[in-house]
Amino acid sequence: MDPYKHRPSSAHNSPYLTTNQGAPVWNNTSSLTVGARGPVLLEDYHLIEKFAAFDRERIPERVVHARGASAKGFFEVTHHVSNLTCADFLRAPGVQTPVIVRFSTVIHERGSPETLRDPRGFAVKFYTREGNFDIVGNNIPVFFTRDAMQFPDVIRALKPNPKTHIQEPWRYLDFMSHLPESCLTFLYWFDDWGIPSDYRHMDGYGVHTFKLITKEGRETYCKFHWKPTCGLKFLLDEEAVIVGGSNHSHATKDLTDAIASGNYPEWKLYIQTMDPADEDKLDFDPLDDTKIWPEDLFPLQPVGRLVLNKNIDNFFNENEMLAFNPGAIVPGIYYTNDKMFQTRTFAYADTQRHRLGPNYMQIPVNAPKCPHYNNHRDGFMNFLHRDEEVDYFPSRFDPVRASEKVPIPTDVITGRRVKTVIPKENNFKQSGELFRSWPRDRQERFIKRFADVASDPKVTPEIRSVWLSYWAQCDRGLGQRLASRLGMKALL
């Protein structure tokens, strides 16, 4: 009966029903009334508690990535990268780190079909000996905008019309007609890539540029790539209708069934690296989230493998309350001046504090699995038992000390305060290269899909002309073929 050792857990279930206070419940089917047909009494504590819990058993869904599925497993290093980083979990081949991964759609609601055309989230939480490291990415290597100031507008434009609650193409075509840098993401989104067959058969990308740092302080730019060992598969539009019509949770079921049968999903982790001294030699900004790093210039280097070999125990506890944050890094890995990365380190933690409360990191699925300590105290839903008398630092009564110094970037930053775009926009080159890499039938499918949404009656001639101009600048043939499909005159 030691109250400090008894942690709430299903392992301590009583053999009979109780209230949250632990009192026995002898009748869980009838309300307490005055007589058999009289009014219900407010003193029926169990009834009130039961409804209070039921009324509150849903939490605010994520604004983005609301629809998702999680699984657990491990990451194993397979190749030496200790020459690039002092991150402990990457210290040597053979080192394994427990992980939890959440796959998701981006725009649509928590109960929406998993077959809708949408980017997919691919988020990995490493429980390392030096704390949690989160790679919070997508199945598309780029994003619609390079500046987080526009992120809320991107999402609002993609989400349903606030008046009708219907997702309408004219809204996102209107908004993104102001963002020529969105072309490359649009190509992936409206390509076959836009509907993965399931979560096991899709890539994952960190999207951002990270910094790897050695103990000596040597810095290397880095991008993370996950490649499924079972290959890529996509659903064509007609297939998606059939699959989604039979099971709107097909990807979640596929992931769960595969793991349950021992067919463990696996991805290889690769990195691309760049010397920061070379970043100005390119015709694009390597910190721009709307650009990819060409693999012929920056080849993929193998690092390790990710294996998902355990299904989650409880969907709410390990999927809905699972919280990721791009700001969760470990010694040896650091942020860059990527504008989206910089802002997401605040925004993701902030949204979790809103959704789950200020102590969301005490939730078991989010808590680090290594020893940890600080003086953050109390607040909503705090359940960490503490008996220290000192809750400040430093103190001569408390032996806790600061950790050993970890390497961080030391580059000197100078410049005026400005609100402006990056110097090297180069919005169309990579989009044209991607389009030309596709076979003719795949190009035609993209053109048809885009022409269909551009034919929305509320898409004005001006907006169509802007997009036609963008696509023509990406590839002249694309512009001509799309103009023909739309019954317009080619602009180039």
Query: Residue 310 domain-assigned?
Result: yes
Domain limit, last residue, from 362, 384, 417: 362
Domain limit, last residue, from 303, 334, 362: 362
Average pLDDT, the chain: 93
Residue 290 has pLDDT above 60, yes or no: yes
The percent of residues in the chain predicted with pLDDT above 70, rounded, is: 98
Domain limit, last residue, from 312, 332, 362: 362
Please check whether residues 24 and 131 belong to one and the same domain. no
Please check whether residues 476 and 347 belong to one and the same domain. no
Q: Which residues are catalytic?
A: 65, 138
Please check whether residues 1 and 81 belong to one and the same domain. no
The stretch 81-108 carries a mean pLDDT of 97
The stretch 207-217 carries a mean pLDDT of 97
- At 429-488, the pLDDT tens digits run 999 999 999 999 999 999 999 999 999 999 999 999 999 999 999 999 999 999 999 998
Query: Is 348 a known ligand-binding residue?
Result: yes
Query: Residue 171 domain-assigned?
Result: no
Contact status, residue 105 vs residue 135, Cβ threshold 8 Å: no
Q: How many domains would you assign to the chain?
A: 3
Please give the C-alpha separations between residue 258 and each of 114, 196, 255, 451, in angstroms, as whole numbers.
17, 16, 5, 37
Q: 3-class DSSP state for residue 306? A: strand
Please check whether residues 358 and 444 belong to one and the same domain. no
Give the model's confidence band at 1: pLDDT under 50 very low, under 70 low, under 90 confident, else very high.
low
- At 131-154, the pLDDT tens digits run 999 999 999 999 999 999 999 999
pLDDT of res. 176: 96
The β-bridge relationship of strands 266-274 and 333-334 is: unpaired
What is the rounded distance in angstroms from the CA atom of residue 223 to the CA atom of residue 210?
6
| pTM assigned to the model | 0.93
End-to-end CA distance of the chain: 80
The stretch 368-378 carries a mean pLDDT of 86
Identify the CATH number of the domain in which residue 53 sits. Answer: 4.10.91.20
What is the rounded distance in angstroms from the CA atom of residue 377 to the CA atom of residue 374?
9
The β-bridge relationship of strands 333-334 and 301-311 is: unpaired
Give the model's confidence band at 3: pLDDT under 50 very low, under 70 low, under 90 confident, else very high.
low
| Torsion 306-331-337-157 (CA) sign | positive
Please check whether residues 124 and 52 belong to one and the same domain. no
Owning domain of residue 294: 68-164+191-362
Please check whether residues 298 and 447 belong to one and the same domain. no
Nearest to 204 by CA among 309, 324, 124: 124
